[in-house]
Amino acid sequence: MKQETLDTDLDDASTLDKEVDHPIYPAQVKITRDQFPLLQLKRKAEPERNELIIDPDFQRLFVWSPKQKSELIESILMGIPLPVIYLFEQNDGRLQVVDGRQRLTAIFQYMNNDFPLTELNILIGEKGKRFKDLSFIMQGKIEDFQMTIYRIQPPTPEKVKFDIFDRVNRGGVKLNHQEMRNALHQGKSTALLKELAESKVFQDAIDKSVKPERMKDRYIILRFLSFYMYYQKWPELNKLEYKSDIDDFLGDIMDIINSFNDEKISLLKSIFTDSMTNSYSVMKEDAFRFKNSSGKRLPINMALFESLSYFFSSKKIDFLARKEEILVRLKEQKDLFYHSDFSKQVDSSTRVNERFNAIIALQREFEHD
């Protein structure tokens, strides 16, 4: 099946693929300079401690070659200073790697004996050796090697995090905002979004048409769950007020989801699964798309996805029994959306309130009928 992209106006209006603007920082950013031996950093990154977080999705997508890894280890053995590592300190004290993922991953892999040294330029005698094969003196050179760390401490606004993330990663892979969020808010939220994006009910509902490579699938799912909890007035969000600041809002939501217990995570899964199941049972793969004047089916529209997903999340509507009525009313509502400014400035609080107020009213119409 041909894979489509999301609606073009979505990409223009969202923050998915826009380059990060460089704002005047609204508050002083506190950055401290530290030095850690590699052995200490490795211990912090071990799963049982989880004090140093390296985004696993990033590691899977962007992998250094054996030659690059070997040259890095050779530089350490020769005592050559390495570029600094940037870390964000989370509210719980854990450290999130912003810049230096590949270096740290390669170093830790070598210390775990995952690969031998190859294609060395200077230390030819160490070629073919894994960490365990090195002399104790050489092992000590790696374990005791001092890495310079810049630690960005809380509180740091999400926009400032993105700006710093963008600046220190220039020359590498250009990340969009959802990829940055995925790196900065690792935990239950990232695991949940990954699971939901790969679920059959979601893939059926979108007709497998949203590309996963740049996390656009996880982005639209996060938006739906965020606005669902917001308009359902979940108590965990009682201090949040949406003011068109989509990046801060979504980052806060991911932190909140990270704090949820397993029961609350299961509830979110159930809400999402029911919504996708209901949408597909009523509208098949056309639920989240507009059609143009000639009847041609357009790509998935983000604003339509999050608002209609909210409609189909209702537990008070018998969607199958009232399928024909729902189809008529949703066609009318989609036509109103399509011929309005629905897809413009989708992140503005005014537009968000307009579309969710319309959908909530339609939902209540069927719930109370």
When pLDDT is cut at 50, 70 and 90, the band that residue 19 belongs to is very low
pLDDT per residue as tens digits for the range 127-174: 999 999 999 999 999 999 999 999 988 877 777 777 777 777 665 566
Give the model confidence (pLDDT) of 234-257 as tens digits: 999 999 999 888 998 999 999 999
Expressed in angstroms, the distance from the first to the final Cα of the chain is 40
Band (pLDDT 50/70/90 cuts) for residue 20 is very low
DSSP 161-216: HHHHHHHHTTTS----HHHHHHHHT-SHHHHHHHHHHT-HHHHHHTTT-S-TTTTH
Tens of pLDDT, residue by residue over 291-335, are: 887 778 889 999 999 999 999 999 999 999 999 999 999 999 988
Q: Please enumerate, as own/partner, the contacts of 238-245 that have beta carbons within 8 Å and a separation of 24 or more.
A: 242/349, 242/352, 243/349, 244/347, 244/348, 244/349, 244/352, 245/159
Phi/psi of residue 264, each to 5°?
A: -70, -35
Q: How far is CA 39 from CA 10, 47, 83, 104, 291, in A?
A: 45, 15, 17, 11, 58
Global pTM reads 0.75
Mean pLDDT on 188-201: 96
Structure tokens at 367: 């719930």
- Average pLDDT for 99-123: 92
Percent of the chain with pLDDT over 90: 59
**Cβ contact 206:283 at 8 Å:** no
Look at residue 60 in the predicted model and tell me its pLDDT: 53
Neighbouring C-beta atoms of residue 340, cutoff 10 Å: 13
- The packing angle between helices 302-311 and 349-367, to 10°, is 30
Least confident of 34-43, 53-62, 171-180, 352-361: 53-62
With bands split at pLDDT 50, 70 and 90, how would you rate the model's confidence at 183?
Answer: confident
User: Residue 324: enclosing H or E segment and its boundaries?
Assistant: helix 323-338
Q: Sort 289 into a burial class: Cβ within 10 Å, 0-12 / 13-18 / 19+.
A: buried
- Residue 2's pLDDT is 40
Looking at residue 11, what is its pLDDT? 38
For 219, phi then psi, to 5°, come to -65, -50
What mean pLDDT do residues 253-275 have?
Answer: 97
pLDDT digits over 86-107, tens only? 998 888 888 988 888 889 999 9
pLDDT at 171: 57
